[in-house]
Amino acid sequence: MSATPAGSLADPAPRRARLTVAVALFGLLAVLPLAVQFGLPSHWLTLATRAMIFAIAALSLDLILGVGGLVSFGHAAFIGIGAYGAGILIAEGQGEALIALPLAIAACALFAAVTGAVSLRTKGVAFIMITLAFGQMAYFLAQALSAYGGDDGLTLQQRSTLAGWDVFADRTHFFYIVLATLAGCHFLIRAIVASRFGRVLRAARENPVRVAVTGYDVDRVRLIAYVISGMIAGVSGFLLANQTEFVSPAFMSWQRSGELIFMVVLGGVGTLHGAIIGAFAFLVAEDVLSGWTEHWKAIFGPLIVLFVLMTRGGIDGLLRRLGGRGDD
């Protein structure tokens, strides 16, 4: 089997350091509301909450992209399904998160199981294109939901409740709910990657034929990873709907899927915490540049491309080199 790429989660040496970085990130985020009370612009709390929501989606994509080697260009469909799961149920008078969230996750799991079973029959560019096709199918289906806004989207009249409590409506409480969810998803995916299942998934990325010869069903392992990834992305969609109090077919557009890939690559493919860093870097840069000019996308796009081309391993790789650890 070929050598493991530098900086991947399979390397035992930097594993503890990466865990330390993740814990430090969560610790810094935990004190952000306190910093807002002492003068930091309140806008940063909203931006950080949004960045954490997209970090959850980027983490889910990193499981199949960075660990499994599956480039999905329709991953935003799961965000949209999770968002519409929240929006439709709230519109129908069922705003309880303990009911709506499991239903949204179940819908994502079903969509992932069906589309994944078909998509995983292909590989390479064909896999990319068929996931894109399924993502666009979900996009156009959402546009056809005229009872729930259609192409104009659906405005939520309230946020979800948690066991009857309006904790989602309070900005600080919602921030900590999202932070706890992000930390839980991070450590869940890290545990999956470190398990036997994760080792088989990594090995299948390197040499699927050899893995199949040893007796493992490569397609089954990849399908399970794809379903888990979709379910976690659905959680991010559920939270996004509650933050924006609005759901739209644009949540599941192919452009959104491309942004998720950019976040993972920007932070460092296969590192998990790199997906979190990449999501924050992407959204903060977007926020800053959009404040300078209305043509910010003309600046942002080339900057992202240049950074990815000139920085091997993304931000995580850059930080490791600056720290003098090279390609541990």
Given a cut of 60, whether residue 328 has pLDDT beyond it is: no
**Mean pLDDT score, 99-121:** 95
**Residues 6 or more apart in contact with residue 82 via CB below 8 angstroms:** 104, 105, 107, 108, 233, 234, 235, 236, 237, 238, 240, 241
Inside any domain, residue 327: no
Inside any domain, residue 10: no
Which residue has better confidence, 17 or 39? 39
What range does the domain containing 256 cover? 15-322
Can you tell me the distance from the alpha carbon of 24 to that of 192, in angstroms, rounded to the nearest whole number? 21
Can you tell me the distance from the alpha carbon of 142 to that of 272, in angstroms, rounded to the nearest whole number? 30
- Which helix H or strand E contains 247, and what residues bound it? strand 246-247
Which residue has better confidence, 61 or 285? 61
DSSP character at residue 66: I
Can you tell me the distance from the alpha carbon of 240 to that of 50, in angstroms, rounded to the nearest whole number? 7
Inside any domain, residue 162: yes
Mean pLDDT, rounded, of the chain: 88
pLDDT at 187: 93
Residue pLDDT, tens place only, 158-217: 899 898 888 898 899 999 999 999 999 999 999 999 999 999 999 999 889 999 998 899
Inside any domain, residue 3: no
**Three-class secondary structure of residue 12 per DSSP:** coil
**Residues 6 or more apart in contact with residue 292 via CB below 8 angstroms:** none
**Residues 6 or more apart in contact with residue 181 via CB below 8 angstroms:** 52, 56, 235, 239
Helix axes 218-244, 43-62, angle to 10 degrees: 170
pLDDT category at 288 given cuts 50, 70, 90 is confident
Can you tell me the distance from the alpha carbon of 106 to that of 123, in angstroms, rounded to the nearest whole number? 26
What CATH number corresponds to the domain at position 309?
A: 1.10.3470
Can you tell me the distance from the alpha carbon of 273 to that of 60, in angstroms, rounded to the nearest whole number? 11
pLDDT at 1: 38
How many domains does the chain fold into? 1
Inside any domain, residue 221: yes
pLDDT category at 136 given cuts 50, 70, 90 is very high
Number of Cβ atoms within 10 Å of the Cβ of 195? 11
- Which helix H or strand E contains 246, and what residues bound it? strand 246-247
Can you tell me the distance from the alpha carbon of 14 to that of 272, in angstroms, rounded to the nearest whole number? 13
The verdict on pTM exceeding 0.85 is yes
Written as one string, the DSSP assignment of 117-161 is HHHTTS-THHHHHHHHHHHHHHHHHHHT-GGGTGGG-EE-SS--B
Inside any domain, residue 4: no
Contact 227, 109 (CB under 8 A): yes
Can you tell me the distance from the alpha carbon of 200 to that of 208, in angstroms, rounded to the nearest whole number? 9
Inside any domain, residue 328: no
What percent of the chain is predicted at pLDDT more than 70?
93
pLDDT category at 323 given cuts 50, 70, 90 is low
Inside any domain, residue 237: yes
Can you tell me the distance from the alpha carbon of 85 to that of 70, in angstroms, rounded to the nearest whole number? 26
Residue pLDDT, tens place only, 66-96: 999 999 999 999 999 999 999 999 999 888 9
Two tokens, residue 279? 């999501």
Which residue has better confidence, 197 or 297? 197
Q: Which of 243, 76, 250, 252 is nearest to 156 (CA)?
A: 243
Given a cut of 90, whether residue 221 has pLDDT beyond it is: yes
